[in-house]
Amino acid sequence: MKISVYHTPEETPDQNTAACAIAIDVLRATTTIATALSVGAEAVQVFSDLNLLNRESELWPEAKRLRAGERGGSKVEGFDFGNSPLDCTAELMRDKRLFISTTNGTRALQKIQASPTVLAAALVNRKTVVDYLLAQKPETIWIVGAGWEGAYALEDTVCAGAIAQEIIDRTGVSLADLAGNDELVGAVALYNGWKDNLVGLMHHASHGQRLVRLNIIEDIAYCAALDTVDTLPIQREIGVLVKHEG
Ligand code: MLT
């Protein structure tokens, strides 16, 4: 296995693809996606365009659909939800399809959607991601951070490091053998420097500070918690993620 980390969709190569591509948006899209599926959502369908989301979701039975729209960290007018994982309750989500569009996270997923295997990772479901990778052993793995409008995001990189370090801890593989690029080495170093204070790192992150300014505080601690959600979102068809049953 060789893991390469790309800090944003913009940095991710267009030409080819990896055997397994993983999108990370810790604050908050991939945390929300994993949580929604963990409480029983039928699927999560991702869109980068809000109008297309509305058109496609209109084709779905009203009783079986929910719409989540976020821009700049805030809920988009007219949508059922913004993008808070804390809104994902079993009562609301069970057996429904969540149609979602966020500022960056859904773009990261669209960037990698052509890969043979597409996963959504966050700190909350890190273990399920590593379990899958150790079982399937893809030759090449790309981890793509959502970032923020093309800029680097601390929280996404620390999650990439958390995934890689867990693989190292569980297999004994060397960092040199695992790293597909320098960014992976940097991600592991960032994780090892902050693994005992991930909430603290979130508050250094520019998007964490943006959420605090929006008074979205509780989400941060939830998104920073490691291995609390036993659900791996996997792409079943382009743009549609379901809970991996493995
Ligand atoms: C994103 O897509 O950039 C984030 O998920 C925004 C957010 O909901 O905090």
Per-residue model confidence as pLDDT tens digits over 32-42: 999 999 999 99
For position 246, what pLDDT does the model report? 81
97 vs 57: CA distance, rounded Å: 9
pLDDT digits (tens, 9 = 90+) for 66-81: 999 999 999 999 999 9
Residue 222 identity (one-letter amino acid): Y
What are the beta bridge partners of residue 154? Answer: none
- Residue 16 sits at φ, ψ, to 5 deg, of -115, -165
102 vs 90: CA distance, rounded Å: 21
Which protein residue's CA is at the shortest distance from atom 6 of ligand 1? 73
The minimum-distance atom of ligand 1 relative to the CA of 82 is 8
The minimum-distance atom of ligand 1 relative to the CA of 28 is 5
Is the pTM here over 0.75, yes or no? yes
What residues contact residue 172 under an 8 Å CB cut-off, 6+ apart?
none
Q: Residue 58 CB: number of other CB atoms within 10 A?
A: 10
Ligand 1 centroid–CA 105 distance in Å is 6
Confidence of residue 16 (pLDDT cuts 50, 70, 90): confident
Ligand 1 centroid–CA 177 distance in Å is 33
